[in-house]
Every structure is written in C-alpha cells, then in structure tokens.
A and B are shown apart, each in its own frame.
Chain A
Amino acid sequence: MLKIKDLHAAINGETVLHGINLEINEGEIHAIMGPNGSGKSTLSKIIAGHPAYKITQGEILYDINLHPVSLATLPADERAREGIFLAFQYPIEVPGVSNFEFLRAAFNAVATHQGAEELDSFDFQQLVEKKLKELQMDPRFLARQVNVDFSGGEKKRNEILQMAVLQPRLALLDEIDSGLDVDALQQVAAALNHVKTPENAYLLITHYHRILEYVKPHHVHILAGGRIVHSGDHTLALEVEKHGYEPFLRERA
C-alpha cells in the first residue's frame, strides 16, 4: 500500500529526514517510536502532504487503483481523498465551523471522488449518528465547533470519529495517546480497534508502550536522527519501555 524509499526531507532548508525506508501493507499496524525530535511527526506530515516540508531525495509511493503513485505529485486534499488520513497530535481548533458541517463537507468530498452521490444533511445525520453510537460518543459533539473548548481526550476521539466517517485506507496516528489519562486512553484505543479493518493500515506514532498494549502492532520501528535505526515485532516496544532508546542508538553508532 505504501512504500517509502530512501526518503530525505527538509523544512526551511534544514534536512530533517535522512533516508527513511518503510513498507506498509494493507491490514498492518506499524508503530514508530523514538526520542523527541527524531522526525516521527515530520514523517507523518510529509506523507499527509504538509506544504512546508520538501522531499529532497527518494520517494513515497502509494497504491492508487492498484498502481503505485508518487505522492509528491498530489496535494494534501487529494491524498486524503485517496484514503490517507492524518490524526493530529494537536488537533486544530476551527472556530465558527460546526463538527457536523465539517464532517459532511469531508465525507462528501471523498464520496464524490469515489463517484458516489453526496449526502444531504438528513442522510448524513443518520450516518454520523450511527458512527457516534458505535464509538459510544455523545451526539452533542456534532453541534460543537470543531475542537473548540474540547478536552484533550475529546479532541483525540473527535479525530477518530473523523476516521470512522471517512474510512481511510491508511491512517497516520501522530501521538494519538498523548495527554490522555488511563480511561481516555482505553476509550481511544477501543475506538481505534473498532475502526480497524483487514483492509486498512495504521502508522501509529507514539512515545509510550501503553497504547500498544491495546492496539497491537505487527511491526515496531525506532526512529532516531531522521532514520529508522531498528525494526522488530511488538516486543520491541517492551524493550524500549524497559531500557529506553539508548541501546538502539549505541547499536546504530
């Protein structure tokens, strides 16, 4: 589904990724861990198409209609319509725009791209209320302005509600567990597992092992200094929890 080859990227002329190689197939969950400033969030933003980052070398190939397409040619909104979803570490507040209006605009943008009919307000209300029920979320979310005055947990769950409505093929989850208490973490993890299907894939960026207890990754990668320095199965996260990143950084050196 996604193949990253020797990816180098820069922001404001400064190189922040130094040759990333990664392959994600449908159905897989990949976790990326790493110390602060290692390039984890940068990687997710570059895949999503943040205009401030420039790919200086290498490429990101993403399957569209079974053919690998270089993402460099696609702006962020087109990538999203092709099924790439970025859950933000700090979801943006959008004053004045209701969640309902926002979700409907997003859903209809994807639907029309896929050749389906747009949903009117009534039909979309039914669809989104079903999703809210599945995720055990309060329907009053819909009337609120996007992320405005939301608690940290509500913001993260709102990201997952958007995922549930848009049903992306590849979800980039940038520290979806940050700032959550134990109960909120369990709720977010349950929602992520609910939205997971055999067809979609997650790239889950995290600092901590705890979310990986609930959302089991197939592969864990350690990113440091803009490179993947070590990869392994889910047990790698436990090793990081016990020993920190130092042994892997030494190994690389």
Chain B
Amino acid sequence: MNQLAVPSRKQEGWKYQRFASLQDRTWQTPDASGASAWQCPETWAKVHRIVLVDGIFSPAHSHLPTAGCTFESQTGQPTFETKTGFHGFFPETPFLSYRLHITQTLTEPLYVIHGFSGRSGLCIQPHIEVQTDAKTESTLCELLLESQDPGTFWNSSLQFQLAEKSHCQYFHIQAPAAGALVHQIQIQQASQSQWQGHSLVTGAAQHRTQLEVKLLGSHATASTVGIFLGEWKRQVDWGSSMVHATKDTGSRQLVKGIAADHAHCAYRGMVHVHPHASRADGKMHNHNLVLDPTAQVQTLPSFQIEHDQVVCNHGATVGQLREDELFYLETRAIPRVQAEHLLSRAFLEAGLAGFQAMPPLASLATACLEAFFAHRWKKGN
C-alpha cells in the first residue's frame, strides 16, 4: 500500500475513506489520442483556457492569453509535504506535470478545463504548478464538468506558489463523478499575498478534495468558501487546512455541505498555528444539512495552536431543515421537494455568493444544484 502511495487507515488521522480497492486494479495509461474524442462546450469556447483531456494538455482545444502567462510541460515527480491523504502518485502510471507561470496581472479569468475521452480504466494523474510573480493579480477557474467512466481514477493536484503581494482567486466546480476522484490543492504564500478560493464539489464513488494552505510570509491571507453536495451513494471527503507559519497571517474557512439519499460526507478542517506565528487570525466554520435519515455527515474541525497570542475560533453544525419552515412553504402550495430545494439553496447562499461575480460559473453552480435536486424532485412526484 505504501509503495502505491495510498494512505492506509492507520496512517490517516481521519479514517473516513477507503481507497484500498484502487490498488487491486490494473490501470490504463491515457494518451494524446483522447483529445480527438472531446469537444469544448460552447460556454467555454471563447474564454482563455487550458484544456486537459484525460489529463493531457490539448493545445488544439486551449486558448491561452497572448501575454501575462506561460504554460509548459515539465518533468520530475511532484513532491508533497502533506501527512494526510494521498502523498504521491501511483508510480506505475505516468504523471503528467505542467507549469503555469503568471508573470503579469491577468485581466481575464483563465480556465483550466478537464475533459474526458470516455475511455474506461484510465488512471489520470495531472499535476499543475501555478506560480504567480510578485504584485500580480489573477483568477483561475478549474472545471471538472464531465462524469468520467466509472472505471476511471482521477488523481490530480494543483500547487500554487504565490509571490509577495500577489493576489489569486481560485474557482473550482466539480460535477458528480462516477469513478474515483482525488484532488489536492496546495498553496504556499509569501508575504502580503492573498488567495481566495471558491469551491463546489459534488463527490464521487470514492472521493477526496484536500486543500492545504501554508501562510509562509507575514500579512499573507487565505480564505476558502466551499460547498459540497452528496447524494445517491456518493462520497464526499473534504479536507482543508490552514497553516499559519509566521506572524500576522489570516485564514478563513467556510464550508457548507448537504447530504441526501445514501451519501457519506466528511469534513476535516484544521488550523495550525506555528510557534512563531504571533497574531495569527484563523476562523473555521462548517455547517451541514442532512436531508435523509440514510445520509451521513461527519465533521471534524481541529486546531493545533502553538502560540498564545492568536485569535482563532470555529463552529460546526450538522442538522436538518426546520419543519416549521417546510410547513410554511407547503401551506403556500410549494411541494415538499421544492420547499427543500428553496431552503437548501438559502442555506448555501453564502457559498454560492462567491460565484455571482462570475456569471458563467454562477450558472454552472446553479445547474449543479438543480441536478442535485432533480433526482429528489423525480422521486417526490
């Protein structure tokens, strides 16, 4: 198991997911021919975009800005310092490594779109390093919109290196995946840099989204506002940790989750304040709704604080929709499933608000929510 870099139950602090079955599989290696089987959806045809089909960069589908950034393949095994989750790639299947270097402020958002050829049994392992130069501003939107084949393992990572005073916004939307999906997002921030993340994930048959932020320079700040939606028998495993490694750093985590049907969802949040990180300011909130008695949500916020002069707080809740609110809506002729939809959407409002500044993403987030409730609507009628 260790050889395959799959964490064992013993290694992980949080023993929620079981990826052991992945080691018994024989994986196919993706190749560039997959690109011919993929078509760019019209919504994204005019945006600046980097398209990876089966994890392989497709120049034909991509449209990079003429200035402000470079994108290239690179060699060498990526390294991860994390102690939780996957800490490497399946070694027998090639990883696909790229580097995006943002040298100037990007006036338009840059999209990273993951497409799939539909080939079965692939182990897709793209790795993208994003480096921003000092004082640049950029918006990166990562989209995983297609439900790949159930036999696919998508094991991806994104590593940000934010230089001093750079500001990066990151939007991430993941449509439901039928296979196994592991997505690591790691951010290292120099002084006075800002990173703002907005995520909407909808889980997979086996799933993990792991976000790790290291605030290495003073006055660096990071925030993540996330939504997860779990339904059917899907799993959602959300981990986010903010490491305050130096003084005067700030972090915010707000993650809202909804579990329905037989979904299993977990939130693992961490704020770690190092011994020299005086005046660290870390806030972590996770709130969850459970719509069916067969669904599960577990929440585990935790702190590791090694300095006295800090301001840290957290809140975590798991609850149901209020019956009095549901009854009120029902007395206004609104069917129960639609009432659930309205109230759930209201519950997620703080998470959805971040997408409103990006109309195509706001529509996409709404579509994900509609799809989530479409099944319940059908069942309810």
Cβ of B20 under 8 Å from chain A: no
Interface residues on B, range: 20 to 34
Selected from B327, B332, B336, B343, the residue in CB contact (under 8 A) with A106 is B332
Cβ of B121 under 8 Å from chain A: no
| Residue among B323, B327, B331 having the largest count of chain A Cβ atoms under 10 Å | B331
* A65-102 with Cβ < 8 A to chain B: 75-77, 79-81, 85-86, 88, 91-92, 94-97, 101-102
**A71 to B: closest C-beta gap in Å:** 13
CB-defined contacts of A92 to chain B, threshold 8 Å? 324-325, 327-328
Instruction: Give A49 to B323 CA distance when docked, in angstroms.
Output: 13
On whether the beta carbons of A162 and B332 are closer than 8 Å, the reply is yes
On whether the beta carbons of A49 and B330 are closer than 8 Å, the reply is yes
Selected from B325, B331, B343, B349, the residue in CB contact (under 8 A) with A76 is B331
CB-defined contacts of A106 to chain B, threshold 8 Å? 329, 332-334
On whether the beta carbons of B330 and A75 are closer than 8 Å, the reply is yes
Cβ of A33 under 8 Å from chain B: no
Cβ of B170 under 8 Å from chain A: no
On whether the beta carbons of B327 and A51 are closer than 8 Å, the reply is yes
Cβ of A130 under 8 Å from chain B: no
Instruction: Give A91 to B335 CA distance when docked, in angstroms.
Output: 19
Instruction: Give A96 to B333 CA distance when docked, in angstroms.
Output: 19
On whether the beta carbons of B328 and A94 are closer than 8 Å, the reply is yes
| Residue among A79, A86, A96 having the largest count of chain B Cβ atoms under 10 Å | A96
Instruction: Give A50 to B330 CA distance when docked, in angstroms.
Output: 10
Selected from A48, A49, A97, the residue in CB contact (under 8 A) with B346 is A97
On whether the beta carbons of A77 and B347 are closer than 8 Å, the reply is no
With A77-B335, A105-B342, A109-B338: A94-B329 Cβ-Cβ less than 8 Å: yes
Cβ of A218 under 8 Å from chain B: no
Q: A77-B335, A85-B331 are in contact. List 10 more A-B contacts (CB 8 A).
A: A51-B323, A51-B327, A77-B333, A77-B336, A81-B333, A94-B329, A97-B342, A97-B346, A105-B338, A109-B334
Chain A positions near chain B (C-beta within 8 angstroms): 48-51, 75-77, 79-81, 85-86, 88, 91-92, 94-97, 101-102, 105-106, 109-110, 113, 162, 166
Chain B positions near chain A (C-beta within 8 angstroms): 323-325, 327-336, 338-339, 342-343, 345-347, 349
Q: Can you list 27 contacts pairing A with B, beta carbon distance less than 8 Å?
A: A76-B327, A77-B330, A77-B331, A77-B339, A79-B331, A80-B332, A80-B334, A85-B332, A86-B331, A91-B328, A92-B324, A94-B325, A94-B328, A94-B343, A94-B346, A96-B343, A96-B345, A96-B346, A96-B347, A97-B343, A97-B345, A101-B342, A102-B332, A105-B342, A106-B332, A109-B338, A110-B333
